Amino acid sequence: MDSCVLFLLLLLSTKSVSATFRCYFPAVFNFGDSNSDTGGLAAAFGQFSSPYGETFFHRPAGRVSDGRLLIDFIVQSLSLPYLSAFLDALGSNFTHGANFATGGSTIRPQNTTRHQSGLSPISLNVQSYQFNDFVVRAQIIRKVGLFKELVPKPEAFACGLYTFDIGQNDLTGGLFLKLTVDQVKASIPDILSQFETVVKDVYGKGGRFFWIHNTGPIGCLPYVLEHLPINEQQMDMNRCANPFNELARFFNHKLKDLVNKLREQLPKAVITYVDIYKARYTLISQARTQGFEHPLGVCCGYGQNYNYNIHVGCGGKVVSNNGKEIFVGSCKDPSVMIMWDGIHYTEAANKWVFDRIVNGSYSDPPVSLLMACHIQ
């Protein structure tokens, strides 16, 4: 009998495991980029400055937002504590999982430095190496006894939820290196081949439950709109760049094909594909009816277009024309803004998206997060 099913049976006692029973995920193991990084980049390269984290944590908390991310809402809905970053040595508790994501991460390893491209050296394959080491060391720690209360129990790896939110930087990174949209498209098969390798590796380590996000509408992000040339005819009705959004949709189509392939090749896996693109684009296109203002306007930024400047980021300082130093702080009310710093979303936007994906409305198969352990 599968160890996870046996564990569930022990928990349920006299109840039977059926397709109507709410799943029990004792841990979450996350792989990704800044959209789900809860402290990896900050641990490796230094903490973000104020006003990051101001809305919820009331201080910088390793997240590139004013508050919580989708992954925070995911673990919170599962009644689990917020995930500690694998790279964070201070105050971390991995009993209920670990977060291997770092801001700027890509699926495919990069041949540029972080200083050159802004991309993280901790690509998905490195995160996979970290996970493999984490599994081995957790077993050793539990045998030795010292600090065993800080690492997952063995069944947590079999019964845990494995979440993936990565791929955006593979697309934008290519574009910023002056590749054409068609050239970036041509790289996608290799990118997804490496994604496939990692998912299969996690499956080989006993992982069974996968929650995979596709990539969002990159053509709506101010830092893309400001960095990359685009003309008026290439803008859609929401002022997003069609060529770049079409690239994201192409990536997502190929990712969904891969998920279907993995379902055939990994018979014991339960894989949920989550359409983050559709959820985020819906929010942007319906912003005002949903209580948001300035759909593409940046809350924490400085500049004329979108309140964003590629040279001065959130928390930075700029000297005005009259010689006065200006601190780049946040807007008056982040709860009515979608874009936080031109690259990332506000907590309010993340919460809006989470509330739409948690019930399965944007998932394939259309199952809720709490039912994502059942084979459809």
Structure-token pair, residue 348: 């309010």
The Cα-based distances of 68 to 63, 64, 65, 125, 217 in angstroms read 7, 9, 7, 26, 20
Q: Rounded CA gap, 345 and 306, in Å? A: 14
Q: Rounded CA gap, 29 and 101, in Å? A: 10
- E runs forming strands in the chain: 28-32, 97-99, 161-165, 209-213, 270-274, 317-319, 325-327, 363-364
The Cα-based distances of 362 to 253, 358, 367 in angstroms read 14, 8, 9
**Residues paired with residue 212 on neighbouring β-strands, in sequence order:** 164, 273
Longest dimension (CA), the chain: 75
Residue 333 CB neighbour total at 10 angstroms: 11
* SS3 of residue 269 by DSSP: coil
Amino acid at 86: F
| 33 classed as catalytic | no
Amino acid at 209: F
Which of 36, 128, 341, 363 is labelled catalytic?
Answer: 341
| 34 classed as catalytic | yes
CA atoms 104, 110, 113, 115: torsion sign: negative
Which of 37, 66, 123, 344 is labelled catalytic?
Answer: 344
| 213 classed as catalytic | no
Give helix 347-357 / helix 276-285 axis angle, nearest 10°.
120
From 354, 341, 264, 258, select the one nearest 298 (Cα to Cα): 341
In the numeric block, the tokens 């069944």 are attached to 155
Which of 33, 34, 105, 275 is labelled catalytic?
Answer: 34
What are the catalytic residues?
Answer: 34, 341, 344
